[in-house]
Structure 1
């Protein structure tokens, strides 16, 4: 009887629960269902997410107030009812709490924040990236130019409005990730962002961030997942060209009655690489735990993100004629996959250039709603990056049997014309087994004074006494590890139409730079004379080129060992006025950077530099005016005084502080117009950014086989441009998108440089005629158009991107600019690429599934993505033959040919 009563009770409870549930559909303004939209009970953390068709069911009573949100759309409030329909309008909404829990993040709001911005949704990231590099998903936005660089996994780079990555701010959940010494961002450290990113905002120009960050070109703000509130999981399997395989699994516990929620993700990828000899593999790991008790004024979120990886590289620039003369996978006479570094060892792929890194990032966020008007948001973070890159070491050029690396020429000149075959095979690839054999057969057993090594085979890079052989080749590893901790805290006060903010930004960074031995290539030890504090030592300890093993920080080192210390203290403030029609904002910040350099090897008598403190700051503001319900105009202007980078403080790898330090000055002004209609959205803006007082240090030849350093100061450039972005929905199920970006980026004056020799002593000056020379390495004109059409459960998207105004990257100390009548920067051929994608959403065994296939560069177009040389036709360095109008002596990266990827995923 008790069992019967219990069964009846459960049935009745189930019926009551069913009776108190509501269901509905969330769509965009074109009527297309939005999968993954969040539906929450207002004022609580109880809710769910929509399925692949935008449908949901929620156990609440009719009449309950709900909040519905989705990345890239304005959130709306709705009342729960049976078979309800909720339509979201396009816009840049404040990110829902299901995605981000910290208010330290500065998010641009449509028709409010006076900043030019483009947003990329998580669906677009997960569907369209595939096996492409993470920055490439941003190529469809104005002002962005992203390339694969050498073509290894994670070796891509991005520029914004013509400014490279060291002059564009990158934030992950509001935290700065640009290297604190050189300002760079290494995307191989962030491979896992494609798995955990829940949205991207490309804030062009001054941006909305309150931090004093290097936002000369703009701010790329990346948002990752937090502890999700809905219970469920996802598994996906991806495959692609060149044996690319990726497996991902994630799970979220959902929010418990006590306010706890957790999410976890684990992913592994591997592949041979499109470019020859660029295989790699890596792991992505992510975890988040959130705690937000119902009715509490406090919310906490702990997250942990990392992406350990290794991959072979193609970092030696390849001339056009090398692509023609080597390799066998040619189109238009070019083998785009050719890699001068590639070869085999023990029957397996081997490359002297191998990158490996692991950079876990841990973050604790605390949001405190003190009262209805006052709130405090705090984020504490820490990172311990470990890894580096391998490369050749030893005077291999002294032995003709292993002389495999060209010196100041390409492989054609070295191998074909010069006859320096070394250990290269007939096809130009390297026989590293022969390198090992030659190392051993040409080295005489050691008979020196260092005990314990008699009879062993010892090599070196320069020392050649006591039977030490310098005419050898080993693989060293150059390490760039760091420890980084920081904290951001922002106090916001709202009073009527005004918002006031006061924030602090604290960072402490220690960078470790050294070399260790990775592979002795058949030898027993390496004789190092790099430490000037010792007479020399023999090193037999090697480290493994892996992101998860010992990286040699506490072991013996060769060649160099120095440590960079950077401390940062920042204070910022904001005043904002906002009404239905007008928003005005004024922001200011001041920061102090403390620089110090320690050298364990090269600075005898001066191992630790003095600390140099430099103050910088910014002032920026703007206003947005809504002309009516569809149109708005905005403007912004700003002044930034930015501290120089670490190498400018300590030029020439020395511990002496540069006596001529000066802050870089950035001035920017921008105006824009926006139209937000039911079927058409348009955003257009024009900008003018001047960047002066720049310090540039570059290596230049000063004699046969001798390099010096040229130090430029007071370098000025001007970046101007117009950008347009539009979306149009002419009929149901069809969405058209387009953008046009036209820039005029150039140097504004001539200037002189002081040249220092290898002993850091002045050895001359040079006058550089750079006025009106175009800024290189980024396309000054880009356009993009795409069409997305949905056939029931299948969607098809086709896009075309055109690139023009692309100039070679070049050294402004090139002989080209020593005369007033020079040819300036080399303009590269324009190109256009077509991409195709197909998405199918379906239900199988009660589980929502998605299949996505991408074909990039559909028509297999052959094009130059970037050039590292500036050789004009008919110049002294030209060889007289051209490809598509460009002299074949130029060293370039060709873009990838046709590639593909496919992903099958299930949500449960």
Structure 2
């Protein structure tokens, strides 16, 4: 079916292809020196839309422009933007850019972002592209059409807890920064966008770097970096209402206001958001609230900008997943699953036997995750001279919350409590409700000095120091038999402290048609875990690490529209908290190391934007998922000595005509472990552990790492006001564990969505957008994640149980955005 669909698509595109008729050469110069400006962004809009950057002489050529009205937009850091009509009757035009009287926030993210034509594999997503898909689903869903990406959510519809994997690496290996400040949790290294609901409504742009990338603040990137920049300066006042409603009672309500530039010096923005959904999975509801406020001072040489944003989430737990018999339809196995899941009551067994793929194990009303996280950032930029600038930032994040759960028949001894004697009967177990708390602080400073002595050379020296303090503790808030416990007692309590210091230097040097990039980072990590955990007592872990991470890259410019590049990078990354707490090996978890080789080709013309790259990511002691999860749904990991990910990626956009645009991405990869030993527990007939099974694999696939990921977007604009798009995503088979066993795998899936956007103005309103997205229009029943666990009997026969995270069948979201 996929081959037929692509064949029909290609034939359709060929049949509607039309050739442009005119060309124009645009020259951009500094208004004072009259010198040509390199790397200036030039955009043509109208009957033909195209974006290019100027060459070393400040020149860009647009070909195949369709006859009709057009506008020319020119923007460059340090200069005032220009927008003017484009006269196609003239073969060339010259534009003089005036140096800007104020500087703006683009300089805040220079040290963490890859620039155009660098030897890093990356993709930029701008505000307009984000707005097309920002209807309430989380940030990972806005990145679904980038290469090698797989997304999913516990609740199945993209609201609540979501996840993203890039090149098979989960969010613990994806370095996320907000305005250059690390978002990743210091202990788990994950990025939980559920704690920042609707943050996409305050985002100016996102850059996704695959591989090690240029991440210079925070932990090493082992799959990708996601660099997010929040609102930049808007010079005119605005008020904006964004609202959406969709399947599963999903609502999003957003109010945004901005003052514009006051007295050419000050600007303020604010946002208030609410998102709610019942979820596709039973009871997988979400109640999310957030706000964002910023205020800035802007002058010719200085920016001072303060930002505060916060999110409060309450989500019903849905991480347990759906048992395989409810997915595959083999209901005869449900009785075995009921025993393995330890369903104790006839009512729970009956509910499982009558359930469907939306099954949720939990029924307790307040089986919820509750967390509030508030971020404070203070940014300062000083343009010391035309060649030298300094950026500095202070940040402070306060997070606190718990998840609550009902436990049936837990032993008193698990909570350090004595048994209860009632009427001469000794009671060893009780039903109870507990809360497990995380109360943490994260704060620090970053700084970078950027020296640009000429257009050919740029040097950056930067540093970051971050400190984390976290308390972990548990409380029993109700028990059928309370033993000696009191309200407020903690049945476990532990604390963690992490100090993270890094310093880096990098440079870009262009000589002729060659661009050389060199980068080196030193990072020191001091991590301490003390006290008790729910699983182990008297913890005393104190690992310390020193990492040196170098990068080297080279770009060759074939001409003004194309280049080739290659790079080498080395990175190291520390284990996370759960790797220590849940480690069953006699050896402590080791830091993982990776060598990343990237090479590629880019072509950018007025109608065509193509990138093709290859990569080889070779690991030592990679921490891979075993296939099992812990009691909060997080994958359990183990070190493997040798493993690798190699592949090819494609990212292209073709403006076929003034009405049609075709975008596509592809990722083909091999993700392998060498000399892997699987360890399994052997039980006797009475469920006593009697030994350990060892199975050797010379080469096997890494869990949850698909070999093929393909996406496609065909859009049609019959008028400038209306845009229609057909969007597809194919992901090949994924294995739940590291044994390459088909019986423990996730089926390939092919999902198709449609989107319609109509924009107009009426009654003096600046802009009204009506946005309709119908997702999974062919009602595909698919899963994006899962886990497995099992054991062996004394005859070495394996038993196993698979659980999956089903995603929503056909559903819709309708949005209405009004801007004054």
- Using structure 1 for the length normalisation, give the TM-score: 0.71
Please tell me whether residue 506 in structure 1 is matched to residue 418 in structure 2: no
- What's the counterpart of residue 244 of structure 2? 238
Q: Could you tell me which of 264, 273, 276 is aligned with 1:267?
A: 273
- What's the counterpart of residue 220 of structure 1? 226
CA distance in 1, matches of 2:562, 2:694: 50
Task: Report the CA distance shift for 1:566/1:84 in structure 2 as closer, same or farther (over 3 A).
Answer: farther
Q: Could you tell me which of 449, 456, 471 is aligned with 1:491?
A: 449
* Equivalent pair of 2:420/2:428 in contact (CA under 8 Å): no
Q: In angstroms, what is the RMSD of aligned CA positions? A: 4.0
- What's the counterpart of residue 560 of structure 2? 629
Task: Report the CA distance shift for 1:730/1:131 in structure 2 as closer, same or farther (over 3 A).
Answer: same
Task: Report the CA distance shift for 1:828/1:204 in structure 2 as closer, same or farther (over 3 A).
Answer: same
- What's the counterpart of residue 342 of structure 2? none
Deviation at 1:78, TM superposition (A): 6.6
* Equivalent pair of 1:808/1:868 in contact (CA under 8 Å): no
Q: Could you tell me which of 765, 785, 788 is aligned with 1:869?
A: 788
> Which sections of structure 2, spanning at least 5 residues, go unmatched?
1-40, 51-68, 95-101, 335-347, 349-353, 630-634, 684-688
CA distance in 1, matches of 2:628, 2:584: 15
- What's the counterpart of residue 858 of structure 1? 777
Task: Report the CA distance shift for 1:538/1:767 in structure 2 as closer, same or farther (over 3 A).
Answer: same
Secondary structure at the counterpart of residue 289 of structure 2: strand
Q: Could you tell me which of 474, 490, 500 is aligned with 1:568?
A: 500
Greater Cα shift, 641-650 or 212-221: 641-650
CA distance in 1, matches of 2:780, 2:553: 43
Deviation at 1:320, TM superposition (A): 2.6
- What's the counterpart of residue 12 of structure 2? none
Secondary structure at the counterpart of residue 124 of structure 1: helix
* Equivalent pair of 2:555/2:563 in contact (CA under 8 Å): yes
Q: Could you tell me which of 402, 416, 420 is aligned with 1:465?
A: 420
* Equivalent pair of 1:305/1:362 in contact (CA under 8 Å): yes
Please tell me whether residue 170 in structure 1 is matched to residue 184 in structure 2: no
Q: Deviations over 1:430-467 (max 9, x none)?
A: xxxxxxxxxxxxxxxxxxxxxxxxxxxx9989743243
Q: Could you tell me which of 363, 371, 388 is aligned with 2:385?
A: 371
* Equivalent pair of 1:251/1:263 in contact (CA under 8 Å): yes
Q: Could you tell me which of 507, 521, 526 is aligned with 2:482?
A: 526
Q: Deviations over 1:689-730 (max 9, x none)?
A: 0111235797999xxxxxxx9995453221000000111111
- What's the counterpart of residue 121 of structure 1? 126
Deviation at 1:126, TM superposition (A): 2.3
Counterparts of 1:439-838 in structure 2, within 5 Å, are 463-467=418-422, 471-496=429-454, 497-518=456-477, 520=478, 523=480, 526-527=482-483, 537-540=484-487, 555-558=488-491, 560-578=492-510, 581-599=513-531, 609=540, 611-648=542-579, 662-694=590-622, 712-751=638-677, 767-792=694-719, 793-804=721-732, 806-810=733-737, 823=741, 826-838=744-756
* Equivalent pair of 1:31/1:87 in contact (CA under 8 Å): no
Secondary structure at the counterpart of residue 337 of structure 1: coil
- What's the counterpart of residue 760 of structure 2? 842
Deviation at 1:81, TM superposition (A): 6.5
CA distance in 2, matches of 1:460, 1:643: 31
CA distance in 1, matches of 2:289, 2:670: 41
Task: Report the CA distance shift for 1:34/1:509 in structure 2 as closer, same or farther (over 3 A).
Answer: farther
* Equivalent pair of 2:736/2:786 in contact (CA under 8 Å): yes
* Equivalent pair of 1:155/1:188 in contact (CA under 8 Å): yes
Please tell me whether residue 341 in structure 1 is matched to residue 362 in structure 2: yes
Q: Could you tell me which of 308, 313, 322 is aligned with 1:304?
A: 308
Deviation at 1:149, TM superposition (A): 3.5
Deviation at 1:490, TM superposition (A): 0.5
CA distance in 2, matches of 1:597, 1:483: 15
Counterparts of 1:359-438 in structure 2, within 5 Å, are 359-395=373-409
Deviation at 1:651, TM superposition (A): 6.3
Deviation at 1:77, TM superposition (A): 6.8
Greater Cα shift, 245-254 or 188-197: 188-197
CA distance in 2, matches of 1:105, 1:163: 24
Secondary structure at the counterpart of residue 188 of structure 1: helix
Deviation at 1:397, TM superposition (A): 10
Deviation at 1:246, TM superposition (A): 1.6
Deviation at 1:288, TM superposition (A): 0.4
Please tell me whether residue 901 in structure 1 is matched to residue 820 in structure 2: no
Work out the number of aligned pairs and report it.
709
Q: Deviations over 1:659-716 (max 9, x none)?
A: 7564322111011001111211110000000111235797999xxxxxxx99954532
CA distance in 1, matches of 2:449, 2:427: 64
Secondary structure at the counterpart of residue 195 of structure 1: helix
* Equivalent pair of 2:642/2:674 in contact (CA under 8 Å): yes
- What's the counterpart of residue 137 of structure 1? 142
* Equivalent pair of 2:308/2:377 in contact (CA under 8 Å): yes
CA distance in 1, matches of 2:649, 2:313: 36
> Which sections of structure 1, spanning at least 5 residues, go unmatched?
1-25, 36-53, 57-65, 89-95, 328-332, 344-349, 399-457, 528-536, 541-554, 702-708, 880-888
Deviation at 1:599, TM superposition (A): 0.6
Deviation at 1:336, TM superposition (A): 3.3
* Equivalent pair of 1:577/1:583 in contact (CA under 8 Å): yes
* Equivalent pair of 1:341/1:351 in contact (CA under 8 Å): no
- What's the counterpart of residue 40 of structure 1? none
Please tell me whether residue 319 in structure 1 is matched to residue 347 in structure 2: no
Deviation at 1:265, TM superposition (A): 0.4
* Equivalent pair of 1:826/1:871 in contact (CA under 8 Å): no
Q: Which has the larger radius of gyration?
A: 1
Deviation at 1:194, TM superposition (A): 2.5
* Equivalent pair of 2:287/2:315 in contact (CA under 8 Å): yes
* Equivalent pair of 2:391/2:447 in contact (CA under 8 Å): yes
Please tell me whether residue 290 in structure 1 is matched to residue 292 in structure 2: no
- What's the counterpart of residue 413 of structure 1? none
CA distance in 1, matches of 2:784, 2:662: 26
Q: Deviations over 1:478-509 (max 9, x none)?
A: 22231000211011112232222211110100
CA distance in 2, matches of 1:219, 1:861: 31
Task: Report the CA distance shift for 1:199/1:836 in structure 2 as closer, same or farther (over 3 A).
Answer: same
Greater Cα shift, 462-471 or 482-491: 462-471
* Equivalent pair of 2:499/2:526 in contact (CA under 8 Å): yes
Deviation at 1:572, TM superposition (A): 0.6
Deviation at 1:270, TM superposition (A): 1.8
Deviation at 1:756, TM superposition (A): 15
Task: Report the CA distance shift for 1:495/1:150 in structure 2 as closer, same or farther (over 3 A).
Answer: same
Task: Report the CA distance shift for 1:526/1:368 in structure 2 as closer, same or farther (over 3 A).
Answer: farther
